């Protein structure tokens, strides 16, 4: 193998495609990359900033003349711009995530942890969760119970368990999913009802 061939191989990724050098960070590049990202993924402003910052760091490692602090300023400007035209809206994003997570049978605790990991503030999470739960249920407690029933159905617990698993194990699974002892007990005491099957 000659030197020229080995150099070419070093530019290739594991799947055999040639690696492209990261582009220089400009306002136009960040704007276009940001739009492309938001077309594919819903995002909180903090999550979006994190993704853009990752691109900037990668670019700065390659283009040594770039300063990360300047790139960060451009990203901050872009975040504010996208907020002003409603491309980034933490309240709308939070509500959308809550709807999706409640439908998956996630507990209040699990939802809060998930949304905090996206960089959302406690007060927005709490407000939007309470709004959604009260709009769609008789009470916050009922919302949590309904989510626990969805979880129980997915995991085949309580009335959904054909093998009649030990209640202690079922309680443990519900507790690890973030449901309170009272909610878990209520789920496991619930009797057959066509609404749940």
| pLDDT on residue 54 | 95
Spatial separation of the C-alpha atoms in residues 179 and 170, rounded to whole Å: 12
Q: What is the mean pLDDT of each run of 10 residues along the chain (197 residues)?
A: 42 61 91 96 96 94 90 96 96 96 96 96 95 93 95 92 80 96 93 55
CB atoms within 10 A of CB 82: 19
| pLDDT on residue 15 | 60
Quote the pTM value: 0.79
All structural domains of the chain with their residue ranges: 21-84, 90-189
| pLDDT on residue 22 | 83
| pLDDT on residue 14 | 60
Q: What are phi and psi of 26, to 5 degrees?
A: -135, 165
Spatial separation of the C-alpha atoms in residues 89 and 44, rounded to whole Å: 7
CB 106 within 8 A of CB 147: yes
CB atoms within 10 A of CB 145: 20
| pLDDT on residue 16 | 59
């Amino acid at each position: 193998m000659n030197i020229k061939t080995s150099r070419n191989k070093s530019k290739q990724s594991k799947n055999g495609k040639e690696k492209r050098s990261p582009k220089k960070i400009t306002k136009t590049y960040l704007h276009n990359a940001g739009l492309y990202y938001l077309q594919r993924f819903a995002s909180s402003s903090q999550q979006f900033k994190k993704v853009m910052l990752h691109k900037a760091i990668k670019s700065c490692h390659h283009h040594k003349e770039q300063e990360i602090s300047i790139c960060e300023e451009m990203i901050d400007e872009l975040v504010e711009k996208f907020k002003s035209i409603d491309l980034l809206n933490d309240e709308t994003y939070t509500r959308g995530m809550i709807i999706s997570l409640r439908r998956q049978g996630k507990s209040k605790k699990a939802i809060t942890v998930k949304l905090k990991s996206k960089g959302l503030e406690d007060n927005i999470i709490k407000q939007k969760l309470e709004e959604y739960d009260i709009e769609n249920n008789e009470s916050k407690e009922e919302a949590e119970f309904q989510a626990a029933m969805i979880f129980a159905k997915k995991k085949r617990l309580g009335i959904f368990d054909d093998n009649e698993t030990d209640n202690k194990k079922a309680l443990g699974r519900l507790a690890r999913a973030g449901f309170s002892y009272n909610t878990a007990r209520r789920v496991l005491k619930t009797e057959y009802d066509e609404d749940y099957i």
